[in-house]
Structure 1
């Protein structure tokens, strides 16, 4: 068996498994994970964060669909279906690049929009807005932070109510009469600690987009090689 025949035989199986199992599963998993992370704090985030994670999920789902063309084209050695598969892979490659670029842009704009969002929602905390109150308490407890820059931000917003209990670590044996103030509150602001969390996940989206786009080039090369080999057989016959 010639070297070209061996390459052709294994390239078609590698092509299908490569895109169907690896890319489909990995991209959908990352997209769902990112969406779950961002959804927990959606009141503080720009919708673009949710859209980028949705884009990854869509890319993964589309890969499962177009893998049908790859399977049929590779098994039946159909030039038309293999060429269609190659074209669709190029489109997927472009979408992955878009996801990566979006991750980069979001990461660099995180502090700017987050400061504005935190400032706006902080004013709504004492206005019977249960959703805003819940998210603020969740952020402060989970990231052990208080206010935007520090605990004094709360006293500027509402001097009579004091600062939320979520700003302070609950000591063992503490009762409902526990008072949270600027003395025993968390020292770091949420802009920095929560911002680091958001940037980290934006970096994940960015890395996945760039990494998979680079690897996807191998899939495109394999698909183009297989389509060319099949066409060459037809022309020879």
Structure 2
């Protein structure tokens, strides 16, 4: 027995939804990779939780392709089992997205404190590690900032440096190490890096929250459509 008109309409709407669902998976995967790359560049100033959230987005984006397969095949073949599987996986993804969105929101409130602690911890290693020197020089050039709260932080360390990193001054952009950049230099970056970096991280954490909420709405539509279609298929079997 064929399905009635309404369930057939739902079936093709669901197929179209799955195509859109695949596109959202690609977007989710791309955003996760981009944000992960941005955070990874400054991983010395963040804890592992800040990298785990964009990694979760990448994982969800990848899994979506598998889920969409069940949804498309189930809708076209009118397979009750595949539709139920699709609906169940959608619920799981919806939960993961809520977790990702919640973690992104929590990150926004913690980023300033975490960044401050990590920055003070790594500043004293500037002369001892080329990696730390590279990261700090990039940070100070990228954000036009100097030190954690301000440039004087470089002169207040437990292991004071002989001067201020050259990357703190506009006149020495591209240079590394300690040289003639001082608190009196006209090209000195007066802004501290902690607040500038915190604003940067908060902005991208907000994107994670926004993506999670937007896709959550899409998931709810998919759950409704798949549940309705599964019910229609089951009813058609019972009346045969």
TM-score by length of 1: 0.92
Residue-by-residue CA offset, 1:108-166 (whole Å, 9 max, x unaligned) = 00111111100000011122x11111110000000000001111000112545110000
What does 1:171-190 correspond to in 2, within 5 Å?
Answer: 179-184=180-185, 185-190=188-193
Residue-by-residue CA offset, 1:48-77 (whole Å, 9 max, x unaligned) = 111111100110111111222112211110
Residue-by-residue CA offset, 1:180-209 (whole Å, 9 max, x unaligned) = 011222111001111111111111111111
- Cα deviation for residue 177 of structure 1 reads 11
1:149 counterpart = 2:152: no
Taking only aligned residues, the RMSD between alpha carbons, in angstroms, comes to 2.1
Gap regions ≥5 residues in structure 2: none
Which SS does the other structure have where 2:170 is aligned? Answer: coil
Structure 1 residue runs of 4+, over 4 Å off?
A: none
What does 1:1-237 correspond to in 2, within 5 Å?
Answer: 4-5=6-7, 7-19=9-21, 21-127=22-128, 129-157=129-157, 159=160, 161-170=162-171, 179-184=180-185, 185-237=188-240
Q: Work out the CA distance in 2 between the residues paired with 1:161 and 1:180.
A: 11
Q: Which moved more, 1:62-71 or 1:87-96?
A: 62-71
Q: Work out the CA distance in 2 between the residues paired with 1:81 and 1:6.
A: 16
Against the structure 1 CA distance between its residues 212 and 108, is the aligned structure 2 distance closer, same or farther, given a 3 Å change threshold? same
Gap regions ≥5 residues in structure 1: none
